[in-house]
Structure 1
């Protein structure tokens, strides 16, 4: 009799578990990928925020993927349901973009990761023309590659994220422009591997750019759910609090401490023309970092 009761209980629990919806997301790109935790926890918070009584999907990591593969898998919809990635017009045409900046545009404010032997060279860079003489490292398929090349900058692409640090360390390229929230943490996590890599503090490279969540277009209900959750998080301050508390972004605050003495401003030709990147509800702007001149 006891076994019968337990069997019913176990069956009930199993059925309940099967009924819980799940969303497939990628695994971290490496053991150092704290960006992954930032976006996964933000997605979970947004889903919970706008659940309105619906079962909150369980986020299940499927495979480790670099950006190019992740976009192909999102298009197929077999092992990926939601992906976070830097936006451009092509992605927004192919997928359903939830057009709320997930890091308030911090991704477009860049300082340089470089070998310490290059610091004196960067002290001489005061213009875009000066930077055009050097070579940047970037990830393959990243929108930044086109943005920088359009501005006349030389870019060496690497298909594997971790290999970029190896290339910088080996001198195959001169600098790796990283979002303000990424650079310091990346170097701290890899200090034992690359003790000669540093972040150059006095030059800011800026172009309007951000990361969105993307789904397939036919998943409109899911996209609206995520969108409503993010909007609600903005309304009550939870999104900003997420940034202030996350290991990835908390060192950015106060923003005034991220000021730079020299700025290089680029246009982003890949950005959808209706993107309101000066709207303070969603975006940080150069003035937040002490820069008061007009953007390009």
Structure 2
């Protein structure tokens, strides 16, 4: 008996909510992992509507959506199925400092946590990593408006604005007449981003984990990562900087250390392993 052609072509449907450009790498990893399964698939997003992170997370928990890629918390690991393969290899925990041009040399001289504690940072009031700064005794000025934070920095309301190495270059370019990227210093805190799958589809979680492991083994995951971020990693000249490691109280205590060797210079690896 011939197989039913309609059944054979039934694609694996995967629904997620995030359509903003800053989430595009996660979508590329999702597509790569699904492509390793030798099964037709189709990725869907809600049409004609914007779904914010909190609403999207609730829809995953309820089973209306299938998954999203998010930073880990104890609550998320309890409410959804985490696939504990860090999608960004920890890169989102790497932060460079955006500073006023007039203060560039002063702030480029920071080389340890104590020195950083003498200055005030800027931060979004609702951003998930805000507890990092309190846990490390770092003072911050917060604002609900992302764009307003740049104006507050320019207006001397705080001293530096820490930004992801994947974000800072475009942002500095927008304010190149006023702001520079501090030399010699970088911050890092554990910030794993996982796929979180609804508990209503445990089989999808297993399939996706299998696809990710295949992509790791055959090198295609690393190639995608370096194609996406290699240029900005090189631009950051990380080997010329002091590494300041911060505690992240949001990350569950049982989280295993993960491999940062795709982007962090070898000379920092022992410092990272020996950090509290």
TM band (smaller chain):
0.7 to 0.9
- Is the partner of 1:224 in helix, strand or coil? helix
Please name the residue that 1:226 is paired with.
208
Please name the residue that 1:115 is paired with.
100
Please name the residue that 2:26 is paired with.
39
1:269 to 246, 249, 252: 249
Please name the residue that 1:8 is paired with.
none
Please name the residue that 1:71 is paired with.
57
- Is the partner of 1:136 in helix, strand or coil? strand
Does residue 209 (structure 1) correspond to residue 191 (structure 2)? The answer is yes
- Is the partner of 1:27 in helix, strand or coil? coil
Q: TM-score with structure 1 length normalisation?
A: 0.76
Q: Please state how far the C-alpha of 1:170 moved relative to its aligned partner.
A: 4.1
1:101 to 86, 89, 93: 86
Please name the residue that 1:143 is paired with.
128
2-side partners of 1:286 and 1:242: how far apart? 13
The structure whose RCO (Cα within 8 Å, separation 6+) is larger is 2
1-side partners of 2:171 and 2:206: how far apart? 33
Does the C-alpha gap of structure 1 residues 131 and 208 become closer, same or farther in structure 2, counting only changes over 3 Å? same
Please name the residue that 1:251 is paired with.
231
2-side partners of 1:266 and 1:224: how far apart? 33
Q: TM-score with structure 2 length normalisation?
A: 0.80
2-side partners of 1:289 and 1:204: how far apart? 15
Identify unmatched segments of 5+ residues in structure 2.
Answer: 1-8
1-side partners of 2:51 and 2:180: how far apart? 27
1:57 to 24, 27, 42: 42
Does the C-alpha gap of structure 1 residues 88 and 156 become closer, same or farther in structure 2, counting only changes over 3 Å? farther
Kept after mapping to 2: 8 A contact 1:46/1:229: yes
Kept after mapping to 1: 8 A contact 2:90/2:190: yes
Please name the residue that 2:163 is paired with.
178
Please name the residue that 1:3 is paired with.
none
What's the CA shift string for 1:14-72, capped at 9, x where partnerless? xxx997735132221xxxx4x3221112211111222x33x302232554455444434
Kept after mapping to 2: 8 A contact 1:233/1:239: yes
Q: Please state how far the C-alpha of 1:237 moved relative to its aligned partner.
A: 0.8
Q: Please state how far the C-alpha of 1:240 moved relative to its aligned partner.
A: 0.9
2-side partners of 1:64 and 1:197: how far apart? 32
Does the C-alpha gap of structure 1 residues 72 and 267 become closer, same or farther in structure 2, counting only changes over 3 Å? same
Q: Please state how far the C-alpha of 1:243 moved relative to its aligned partner.
A: 1.3
- Is the partner of 1:102 in helix, strand or coil? coil
Q: Please state how far the C-alpha of 1:165 moved relative to its aligned partner.
A: 3.6
- Is the partner of 1:26 in helix, strand or coil? coil
1-side partners of 2:159 and 2:60: how far apart? 33
2-side partners of 1:213 and 1:73: how far apart? 15
2-side partners of 1:208 and 1:20: how far apart? 33
Aligned residues: 268
Give the aligned CA root-mean-square deviation in angstroms.
Answer: 3.3
